[in-house]
Structure 1
Amino acid sequence: MRVLLINSPYNKEEKIRKYRRVWPPIELLNISALFQENGIESDILDLNATPISMNKLQNVAKNYDKIFVSSEGIDRWQCPKLKLDEFISIAKNLSERNEVYIMGPTVSAFPREFLVKTGARAAIIGEPELTVVEIVNKGLNEGIEGLYFIKNGKEYFKPRKTLLDLNKLPPLPYEKLPLKKYKYELMGEKFFLFEASRGCPYACKFCAKRLMYNLGYRIKKAEKVVEEILNAYNRGVRNGYFIDLEFNVNIEESKKNVRRICKLLREERVDFKWACQTRVDSVNFDILKEMKMGGCDLIHFGIESGSERIMGMNGKLITKRQILQAIEACKKLGIRTVGFFMFGFFGEKLKNMLETVKFATSLDLTYASFNIATPYPGSEFYEMVKDELENFEYYDKEVKIEIIKKVISLAYKKFYLRPKLLKTLALTPKILDSINLFLSFSKEE
């Protein structure tokens, strides 16, 4: 049995193309590790890192018994891709001559529609690792959790209850991915993704986590995390990003694990820098100091809005004071920060958007990213507004999309063209290269 795992590429017109960003599909690497443990031969084809023509792809596919095509890698499980033409084209073309299965967050939201569009044999709903291995071992079986298929006009689906134990994953076969291709514009090359936990205990209404993460929260032990980092390090990786929804959750078990990861990395004395995403109310100076000593170089903070009323209405229960304290602590420790903001929430008016712009430009962030609040299928936001939606990409019943785009353009210009920021960055040309990427979004589309 030979299996091919495919990570489909971004559509050429997507904004991600403006970034010099290529992130690895580590969920496919997990699957390949499980296959290896089960004596199943597999390969990974990451079409984001190594694009090939459809003709060549069809020729490659001839050598495999089963093919699994992912619509989005794990880096997009929280915020699924909105344009899936490339994915549909690949799955449809391969389905004509091969046994093809499809997976990903958008597939999980609309499995029947994507089976019809692609002609694939079945869809994997939710986190894919265990389901994919069971399909290869058992075939198309209605008893497999997480498997959706249609037979004689009847739909079959059994929700996945047994979740992947992150601590029992076999060693990851890094050699199956083109490690030299991966990079993150804010961390550089020699880059890879790591996972220290899966899931999130918080309830932000704009997050589509339930499609892929279920409702639980699982921690990968520090020793396992650092072992994976060192294995990648020995293959040339020097920069990493923890893809966890929240790297440092505000519970004792999580904080203890984060401290342990940092301690182990310090003890190894490796030249390894890393980034993560966490909440402003989950960090303080002491934990940030330990993270810095363990190699933390950059933190993503989801700030979302400058209006506490809007944050509260959308389940982001943080305060401006907490935001200021977290950013100030990072600044003192020399940890770079990215603040993420969104416009077009349910209940948001133009004055609230302008309040966000004013607040963002008052913060001492290293970078800021301004985006449209998207009602992703699978999110509570989507359920609240789905009957009014004309386009999945935005909700504009309160402020029209043309105005939202103008506000975003204004936010980018006001943030990155501040005299104080420009003066600070004038002596750091490498950072200016990264700033140019963000400025490309200041143009209205």
Structure 2
Amino acid sequence: MKALFLKPPAGLAFKNIVRDFVYGCWCNGRRIGGMQMPPLNDLYVATHARQSGIEVLFLDASMEPDRYGDLLNSRCADIFAVVLMSSTQSFRQDVATIRAIKDLNPQVRSILYGSHPTFMPEYCLKEDVVDYIVLREAEETIRCLLRAIANGEPVDREPGVGWRTAGGEIRINPARPLMNLDDLPIPDRSLLPEKVSYFNPVVKRLPYTTMQTSRGCPGRCIYCTSPAFYGNRYRLRSVPRVMEELREIVRIGYREVFFRDETFTVSRSRVREICEAMLSEGLDLKWIANGRVDMVDEPTMQLMKRAGCHMLKFGVETGEDEILKVYRKGATCDQAREAFRAARAAGLSTHAHIIFGGPGETQQTIDKTIRFVKSI
């Protein structure tokens, strides 16, 4: 019997919607924000689960509709559990997907993890087809939960799990302590669909993949879910472990990496160590990363450029300093202007994330933000 790790079908109109573990569901439309991301968090969870001897079936149904159809036609006969990452935006669709699977095989146990189960666990468990939810960082909790389900063991003392008792009462256990990131396995990218290139308008070289070298962020921005997920902690994988995965990525044929760290540039000394290691090993990779405008400098960005970086993404948010204070961003418009200037001087492309409609927003501040973004 297998555990099915499923990225549900999205339908033709929404094929390139990204399911993000921390931030939920986002992006549609090829010309502006639309992109497709290899489902990295799903790969982490599935690869980690196999360390308990669980047989894993990984299926990105948005990319493999025929294979998904074959699974349904088999009535999910050899599946004992289905694991889905769910967000507020996708929750209703996810429930419908689980219901369709359970209609075919009522013995399948369902597990939801991600932003919606973390922030609204009771709401999720009110749905009769949702058997378990997992809070916050999911890898170790899902590994232990699947082992318990497979062995017919109780889950009532399993940290980070929510479930219903035989009498229908909802129970939510306290979240599991966060992991040492070096204890996570390198995600098994052979689980991804064969001969599929995920679309991304900012990637220069295909095939590309995603990767994490850290989790969390030292920022305390009021709009961001990262602190709630990761407990106001910033955790790093060791540089040798990062390099081990980068070498594996090159070995299996990837030509570009999008580092999906919330803030790759928190530790400039570590960024320099990674870049110098990439250069010394001659890794032929282009790459993209996320940064903060108050956590970059021109010499570091010059080194990043030499090591293969071609784009940095920044959360600019607004062109109004008073709104940045409301957001508790911890950065200023002047710092954003300088970061973009320095990035251009280093030869890097830039990407500005903007928020419209937050607390204190007016038509005047929206217009000011548009002018500001055009100016940087």
TM-score tier after normalising by the smaller chain length? 0.7 to 0.9
TM-aligned CA deviation for residue 307 of structure 1: 0.2
Q: Is the 8 A contact 1:166 1:219 kept in 2?
A: yes
For 1:237, give the aligned amino acid.
Answer: Y
Give the corresponding residue for 2:23.
none
Give the corresponding residue for 1:6.
6
Q: Is the 8 A contact 2:95 2:130 kept in 1?
A: no
Q: 1:265 is paired with a residue of what secondary structure?
A: helix
For 1:315, give the aligned amino acid.
Answer: R
Stretch of structure 1 that moved more, 38-47 or 177-186: 177-186
- Answering whether residue 141 of structure 2 is matched by residue 131 of structure 1, we say yes
- Answering whether residue 229 of structure 2 is matched by residue 212 of structure 1, we say yes
Distance 2:247 2:320 in 1: 42
Q: 1:119 is paired with a residue of what secondary structure?
A: coil
Match 1:290 to one of 277, 291, 303: 303
- Answering whether residue 183 of structure 2 is matched by residue 168 of structure 1, we say yes
TM-aligned CA deviation for residue 195 of structure 1: 0.2
Distance 1:53 1:293 in 2: 42
Instruction: Classify 1:160/1:282 alpha carbon distance in 2 versus 1 (closer, same or farther; 3 Å).
Output: same
Distance 1:113 1:296 in 2: 42
- Answering whether residue 85 of structure 2 is matched by residue 70 of structure 1, we say yes
Stretch of structure 1 that moved more, 119-128 or 55-64: 55-64
Distance 1:49 1:224 in 2: 30
TM-aligned CA deviation for residue 118 of structure 1: 5.7
Mapping of 1:83-122 within 5 angstroms? 83-96=90-103, 97=105, 98-117=108-127, 119-122=129-132
Q: Is the 8 A contact 2:5 2:84 kept in 1?
A: yes
Give the corresponding residue for 2:174.
159
Distance 1:197 1:171 in 2: 13
Give the corresponding residue for 1:31.
45
Mapping of 1:19-58 within 5 angstroms? 19=30, 21-52=35-66, 55-58=69-72
Distance 2:271 2:95 in 1: 39
Mapping of 1:274-313 within 5 angstroms? 274-313=287-326
Instruction: Classify 1:168/1:101 alpha carbon distance in 2 versus 1 (closer, same or farther; 3 Å).
Output: same
Match 2:338 to one of 321, 325, 330: 325
Give the corresponding residue for 1:142.
156
Distance 2:9 2:249 in 1: 23
Q: Is the 8 A contact 2:293 2:331 kept in 1?
A: yes
Q: 1:280 is paired with a residue of what secondary structure?
A: coil
Q: 2:185 is paired with a residue of what secondary structure?
A: coil
Q: Is the 8 A contact 1:91 1:118 kept in 2?
A: no
Structure 2: gaps spanning 5 or more residues: 18-25
Percent of residue pairs bearing the same amino acid type = 25
Distance 2:187 2:69 in 1: 30
Distance 1:134 1:197 in 2: 23
Distance 1:247 1:325 in 2: 18
Match 1:335 to one of 345, 348, 353: 348
Q: 2:337 is paired with a residue of what secondary structure?
A: helix
Distance 2:360 2:192 in 1: 44
Distance 2:182 2:68 in 1: 37
Give the corresponding residue for 2:199.
183
Distance 1:84 1:142 in 2: 25
- Answering whether residue 243 of structure 2 is matched by residue 229 of structure 1, we say no
- RMSD (Å), alpha carbons: 2.1
TM-aligned CA deviation for residue 265 of structure 1: 1.0
- Map Cα deviations across residues 166-201 of structure 1 (whole Å, 9 max, x no partner): 112234322111264323210143111100100112
TM-aligned CA deviation for residue 103 of structure 1: 1.5
Q: 2:176 is paired with a residue of what secondary structure?
A: coil
Match 1:16 to one of 23, 27, 51: 27
Point out the structure with the larger helix share: 1
Q: 2:224 is paired with a residue of what secondary structure?
A: coil
Stretch of structure 1 that moved more, 258-267 or 56-65: 56-65
Stretch of structure 1 that moved more, 58-67 or 7-16: 7-16
Q: Is the 8 A contact 2:115 2:136 kept in 1?
A: yes
Distance 1:340 1:2 in 2: 40
TM-aligned CA deviation for residue 141 of structure 1: 0.7
Q: Is the 8 A contact 2:54 2:147 kept in 1?
A: no
Distance 1:228 1:8 in 2: 27
Distance 1:123 1:59 in 2: 27
TM-aligned CA deviation for residue 114 of structure 1: 2.4
Q: Is the 8 A contact 1:5 1:44 kept in 2?
A: yes
Structure 1: gaps spanning 5 or more residues: 72-79, 364-445
Give the corresponding residue for 2:215.
198
TM-aligned CA deviation for residue 3 of structure 1: 1.3
Distance 1:293 1:304 in 2: 28
Q: Is the 8 A contact 2:321 2:333 kept in 1?
A: yes
Distance 1:242 1:257 in 2: 14
Distance 2:305 2:129 in 1: 49
Distance 1:138 1:7 in 2: 23
Instruction: Classify 1:340/1:353 alpha carbon distance in 2 versus 1 (closer, same or farther; 3 Å).
Output: same
TM-aligned CA deviation for residue 111 of structure 1: 2.2
Q: Is the 8 A contact 1:300 1:339 kept in 2?
A: yes
